[in-house]
Amino acid sequence: MKAHARGRLISVEGGEGAGKSSAMAAMRAAIVARGVELVQTREPGGTPVGEAIRQLLLDPAHGIVAESELLLMFAARAQLVREVIAPALQRGAWVLTDRFTDASFAYQGGGRGIDEAHIAELERWAAAIKPDLTLLLDVDVQQGHARLAGRGGDRDRIEREREDFFERVRAAYRRRAVAEPQRFRVIDASQAREAVTAAVLAVLDEALSRWT
Ligand code: Z5A
């Protein structure tokens, strides 16, 4: 099922340090400049329950098994879809989200090795909305890692995973982009920030001209 006949759902995905924050800020400004109502959110999170689940998921003090991790991601997502995304799309607003269900296929499927059929079943049942457009910011794992190191701060529970985990996440994202070329646009996020922003805005422009 597509997002909705009226509003539009755009998701931004990528590995750690891919530059999602800058991309989201540039997209937000471009969409708002068109006079469109925009709701910006993130996953896991975006609702009071979702943000509480996020804290639980990212706290390095917890040992969370892969199955619980997946179910918690979908618990937060079910809440977000019903409280925020679906109502926004129904009133014609656009939704820009920092990650969505593709992240579960990439991290819990690719990274943790959970069978994709389980994830697809949860998607059908708990969050049956597909983004109209997904930008995948693709960057080499070591380069993304170096950017995060430059940013400083403590690493959360998932960021503490080993490099091979993030290589599997990246490969899973890339497979999804190949499988759904009409929805995905892959951005080379290894470039300088200005070049990444320009590429992101070009993709958005192309989508906007199709939709408005
Ligand atoms: N997760 C999951 O496992 N399953 C799911 O279903 C979902 C999520 C939905 C939290 O997500 C974690 O949840 C995440 C996936 C998992 N775990 N990991 N790892 P998140 O999106 O909130 O967290 P994140 O991916 O860790 O965010 P991030 O590392 O902050 O990524 P980012 O937003 O892309 O990073 P950034 O802040 O934009 O950039 C990072 C640094 O690089 C910063 O200092 C920038 O100034 C710098 N940067 C950015 N772009 C450039 C360029 N082009 N050149 C140089 N430096 C740059």
User: Is any atom of ligand 1 closer than 6 Å to the C-beta of 20?
Assistant: yes
pLDDT of residue 4: 47
Q: What does the pLDDT read at residue 153?
A: 86
Give the number of the atom of ligand 1 that is nearest the alpha carbon of residue 191.
53
pLDDT of residue 3: 52
* Residue type at 170 in one-letter notation: R
CA dihedral (73, 74, 77, 78) positive or negative: negative
Is 137 within 8 Å of 20 (Cβ atoms)?
Answer: yes
Looking at residue 211, its pLDDT comes to 85
Are 34 and 123 contacting, i.e. CB atoms less than 8 angstroms apart?
Answer: no
Mean pLDDT by 10 residues, the chain (212 residues): 72 96 96 94 98 98 97 98 97 97 98 98 96 98 92 89 96 98 97 97 93 79
Q: Is 13 in the pocket of ligand 1 (CB under 6 A)?
A: no
Give the position, in ligand 1's atom list, of the atom nearest the Cα of 18. 34
Q: Is 147 exposed, middle or buried (0-12, 13-18, 19+ CB in 10 A)?
A: middle
| Domain residue ranges of the chain, discontinuous segments joined by + | 9-211
Q: Does 104 sit in the ligand 1 pocket, CB within 6 Å?
A: yes
Give 47 Cα–ligand 1 centroid separation in angstroms: 19
- Give the CATH number of domain 9-211: 3.40.50.300
Confidence at residue 2, expressed as pLDDT on a 0 to 100 scale: 52
